[in-house]
Amino acid sequence: MKAPGNKKIRSIKPCLLAFGALIIFTLTACSFSPKYERPEAELPSQWTAQPGDSLEYNWWERFNDPVLNSMVNEAMDYNHDIAIAIARVDQARANLGLSWSDLLPEIGIQGAANKNRLSTRTHTPVTTEARTYKDYSGAAIFSWELDLWGKYRETIKSAKARLLAAEATRDGALLTLQAEVCRTYFSLRALDAQKAYAEKTLHNREAYLQIYAERYKIGALPELDYQRGKAVVEAARIALSQYTAELENAEGSLAVLLGRSPKAIFEEYAQRGLNLEEMPPIPVVPAGLPSELLERRPDIRAAEQNLISANAEIGVARAAYFPSISLTGLLGYESASLSRLFSEPASTWAYGGTLTMPILDFGRVRSGELYALARKREAAAYYEQTVQKAFSDLRMAIFQQQEAANVAKSSQVSMDSLARSTELAFYQYEIGHIDQINFLDAERQLFDAGINLISAQRDQLSAIVYFCMALGGGWTEDGQGQNQNDIAADTLDKE
């Protein structure tokens, strides 16, 4: 004996096969997007390697300052710019999920319960007393727009590219934040040193002024020399006030970068680590092909993914030229009595399809295609411009880190020479071989040289930071590029 329901099962199988065939056809249908090719650029063969160890992917750790390392990690955890960038990645990921859902059928259920009253004053008035009635319904519904021309598949490609662009933008935000923390920290330490140097200079000048005052009282020093002594003391006092104000500003800027609370910004001060001269300032230029910048730098990766997205949008726009086919279906029950709703006589079903195609749209579809083509041209031009800027940054970074080292070296030599010349000038002034103005001039030059040396040390460290940014991050010891921002961002996402 045949099992009951076999006939019904056999009738369902062809429907399932046809449904499966429609899904496969939809997923493999044609596409009208142009084939993507990365814009070509004439690249230099390679850059010159310098002796020394290569940068690690946590490039800021090469400065060997635990306080700086802690600040960079704190900033990556709490900075609001990074939180915004991560939220945008999540938005792009959710948008990709929405794009996938548009490609597949939508199945749902619906139910309704209504009570109605009919009018007796219409052209077809009710002739019975049963003017009021109830109606109940429940059904499963199905709808699906077939993606015959690749509109939704190209939308998915575009959404994937936008997600990758958002991730690259997040990586760029991380790299920029890391660099800003380092540079602000270096400025903070430089201002600490400059403030201390100004305090020392003020103390020395006040000591000189006391000598001038005693000599002036006994008539051994003219008033002109005494007034000059007072002037240079006040000049040192002004410089000290300026460095103190700049130091407070740097404290606030660093606190904001670290994502600290308003209370902490207003009341707390940043911890200090190494002095500038204690940090290793030797720059390293890794060997490798510059074409690796195309894969390493977050801004280039983001620009290319935006170009890929714009290329896919052309296919979406062109698919609007062709018919749109939608399938709909309904299977359920409808009854005037709730107790009989799920009985066989109350069953109902419906299925059908809809085809729509533009005939006269007054250029709407064509304008959409032209818009998509223009967006691709814009994205391509922006990508090429970004590549140009990357190599310009790299060239400038190599030059700056070399010249910054030269400036720091010369500043140290100048400082040492002026320190000795100031000692000699004071001795010659004491024995009367030179007048006071020559001594004050030598002392003023020494002060400027000390301030300039500190600035040169800061600039040398900042030049290394700029060089790392130009590379798109750090550099591993085997010479292969490894984007440290991806690692840091993955860590943030896991948390």
- CATH number (domain holding residue 382): 1.20.1600.10
Return the pLDDT at 491. 36
Q: Which two tokens stand for residue 320?
A: 């609007």
Return the pLDDT at 336. 79
Mean pLDDT over 178-195 rounds to: 96
Return the pLDDT at 358. 85
Kindly give the pairing relationship between strand 106-117 and strand 347-356.
unpaired
Indicate the pLDDT class of residue 32, thresholds 50, 70 and 90.
confident
Write the pLDDT tens digit of every residue in 142-165: 888 888 888 889 999 999 999 999
Return the pLDDT at 459. 95
Indicate the pLDDT class of residue 324, thresholds 50, 70 and 90.
confident
Kindly report the CA angle at 404 between 400 and 410, in degrees rounded to 5? 150
| Mean confidence (pLDDT) of the chain | 84
331 part of a folded domain: no
Q: Is the pLDDT of residue 30 over 80?
A: no
328 part of a folded domain: no
CB 337, CB 136: distance < 8 Å: yes
Amino acid symbol at 269 = Y
486 part of a folded domain: yes
127 part of a folded domain: no
Write the pLDDT tens digit of every residue in 284-304: 565 554 566 667 789 999 999
The residue range of the domain holding 376 is 31-104+149-321+363-494
339 part of a folded domain: no
Return the pLDDT at 480. 41
Return the pLDDT at 29. 58
Write the pLDDT tens digit of every residue in 206-251: 998 998 899 899 988 899 989 999 999 999 999 999 999 999 999 9
Domain total for the chain? Answer: 1
Q: Is the pLDDT of residue 476 over 70?
A: no
- Taking the C-alpha atoms of residue 18 and residue 305, their distance in angstroms, rounded to an integer, is 37
50 part of a folded domain: yes
Q: Is the pLDDT of residue 362 over 60?
A: yes
Return the pLDDT at 448. 94
Return the pLDDT at 128. 65
Going by C-beta distance under 8 Å and a sequence separation of 6 or more, which residues neighbour residue 472? 175, 293, 296, 297, 298, 300, 390, 481, 483, 485
In this prediction the pTM is 0.80
Distance of CA 243 to the CA centre of its chain: 32
204 part of a folded domain: yes
Write the pLDDT tens digit of every residue in 111-124: 898 888 888 777 77
Return the pLDDT at 493. 43
Mean pLDDT over 187-207 rounds to: 95
215 part of a folded domain: yes
Mean pLDDT over 190-209 rounds to: 94
Return the pLDDT at 292. 66
